[in-house]
Structure 1
Amino acid sequence: MTQFDLDAGVRDFIKRTDSFSKGLGIDATTAEVREAYMRMCAAFALPHPKGLRARDGILHAEGPTRELRVRSFATPDAIPGRAVLFLHGGGFVVGGLDSHDSICADLAAGAEVAVIALDYRLSPEHAYPAALDDAEAAYDDLLDSHQHVILVGDSAGATLAAALSLRLRRKGKPMPWAQVLIYPMLHPDFRRAIGGPKEQAPLLPAASLSLYVGAYLGGKPTVTTDPEVAPLAAQDFAGMPPTAIFAADIDPLAEDAHDYCAALRDCGVPVTLHPGHGLVHGYLRGRAMSETVAEAFSVIVSRLRDFAHGGQP
Structure 2
Amino acid sequence: MSADYSVLIDTETWAFIERTNSFYPPDAVDHTVAQQRDVYNRMCGAFFTGYPTGVLAMDRFIDAEDRKIPIRMYEKRDSDPEAICLYFHGGGFVVGGLDSHDDVCAEICDATGFHVVSVDYRLAPEHLHPASFEDCLAAFEHVAATSSLPIVLCGDSAGGNLVAAVSHHVRHSNRAPIGQVMVYPGLGGAQDQGSYVTHAEAPMLTTRDTLYYAKIRSGGEDWSADPRFVPLADTDFSGLPDTIVISAECDPLSDDGRHYRDKILAAGGKAIWNNEPGLVHGYLRARHSVTRARSSFRRVCTAVHLLGQGRWPGQL
Q: Equivalents in 2 of 1:255, 1:263: separation in Å?
A: 12
Letter in 2 for 1:228: R
Answer yes or no: is the 8 Å Cα contact 1:82–1:146 preserved in 2: no
Q: 3-state DSSP class of the match of 2:86?
A: strand
Greater Cα shift, 17-26 or 197-206 = 17-26
Q: Equivalents in 2 of 1:25, 1:267: separation in Å?
A: 39
1:131 aligns with 2:132: yes
Answer yes or no: is the 8 Å Cα contact 1:188–1:224 preserved in 2: no
Q: Equivalents in 2 of 1:23, 1:224: separation in Å?
A: 27
Residue of structure 1 in register with 2:304 after alignment: 304
In structure 2, relative to structure 1, the CA distance for the partners of 1:23 and 1:181 (3 Å cut) is closer
Residue of structure 2 in register with 1:40 after alignment: 43
Q: 3-state DSSP class of the match of 1:151?
A: strand
Q: Equivalents in 1 of 2:248, 2:263: separation in Å?
A: 19
Q: Deviation per CA, 1:190-239: give whole Å up to 9, x if none.
A: 45468722111110011111110101101235x71111111111112100
Answer yes or no: is the 8 Å Cα contact 2:74–2:116 preserved in 1: yes
In structure 2, relative to structure 1, the CA distance for the partners of 1:24 and 1:185 (3 Å cut) is closer
Letter in 1 for 2:18: K
Answer yes or no: is the 8 Å Cα contact 1:193–1:199 preserved in 2: no
Q: 3-state DSSP class of the match of 1:72?
A: strand
In structure 2, relative to structure 1, the CA distance for the partners of 1:190 and 1:240 (3 Å cut) is same
Residue of structure 1 in register with 2:54 after alignment: 51
Q: Equivalents in 2 of 1:18, 1:206: separation in Å?
A: 17
Residue of structure 2 in register with 1:30 after alignment: 33
- Which residues of structure 2 form unaligned runs of 5+? none
In structure 2, relative to structure 1, the CA distance for the partners of 1:173 and 1:156 (3 Å cut) is farther
Q: Equivalents in 2 of 1:162, 1:278: separation in Å?
A: 25
Residue of structure 2 in register with 1:279 after alignment: 279
Residue of structure 1 in register with 2:238 after alignment: 238
Q: Equivalents in 1 of 2:196, 2:122: separation in Å?
A: 32
Residues paired across the two proteins, number: 309
Q: 3-state DSSP class of the match of 2:276?
A: coil
In structure 2, relative to structure 1, the CA distance for the partners of 1:238 and 1:2 (3 Å cut) is closer
Q: 3-state DSSP class of the match of 1:127?
A: coil
Residue of structure 1 in register with 2:262 after alignment: 262
Residue of structure 2 in register with 1:183 after alignment: 184
Q: Equivalents in 2 of 1:27, 1:283: separation in Å?
A: 22
Kindly report which structure 2 residues correspond to 1:213-224, keeping only aligned pairs within 5 A, or say none: 213-221=214-222, 224=224
Q: Deviation per CA, 1:129-170: give whole Å up to 9, x if none.
A: 000000010001001122221110000000001011111137
1:71 aligns with 2:80: no
1:168 aligns with 2:181: no
Q: Aligned-residue CA RMSD in angstroms?
A: 1.9
Q: 3-state DSSP class of the match of 1:226?
A: coil
In structure 2, relative to structure 1, the CA distance for the partners of 1:19 and 1:228 (3 Å cut) is same
Deviation, 1:69, is 0.4
Deviation, 1:308, is 2.1
Q: 3-state DSSP class of the match of 2:54?
A: coil
Q: Percent identity?
A: 35
Deviation, 1:17, is 0.5
Answer yes or no: is the 8 Å Cα contact 2:189–2:255 preserved in 1: no
Answer yes or no: is the 8 Å Cα contact 1:75–1:109 preserved in 2: yes
In structure 2, relative to structure 1, the CA distance for the partners of 1:78 and 1:219 (3 Å cut) is farther
Deviation, 1:94, is 0.2
Q: Deviation per CA, 1:171-204: give whole Å up to 9, x if none.
A: x563111100111111353454687221111100
Letter in 2 for 1:113: F
1:20 aligns with 2:23: yes
Q: 3-state DSSP class of the match of 1:69?
A: strand
Q: Equivalents in 2 of 1:71, 1:214: separation in Å?
A: 29
Q: Equivalents in 2 of 1:131, 1:279: separation in Å?
A: 27
Q: Equivalents in 2 of 1:123, 1:265: separation in Å?
A: 33
Answer yes or no: is the 8 Å Cα contact 2:28–2:36 preserved in 1: no
- Which residues of structure 1 form unaligned runs of 5+? none
Residue of structure 2 in register with 1:157 after alignment: 159
Answer yes or no: is the 8 Å Cα contact 2:188–2:232 preserved in 1: yes
Q: Equivalents in 2 of 1:25, 1:83: separation in Å?
A: 34
Q: Equivalents in 2 of 1:266, 1:17: separation in Å?
A: 38
Answer yes or no: is the 8 Å Cα contact 1:7–1:290 preserved in 2: no
In structure 2, relative to structure 1, the CA distance for the partners of 1:299 and 1:178 (3 Å cut) is same
Greater Cα shift, 297-306 or 69-78 = 69-78
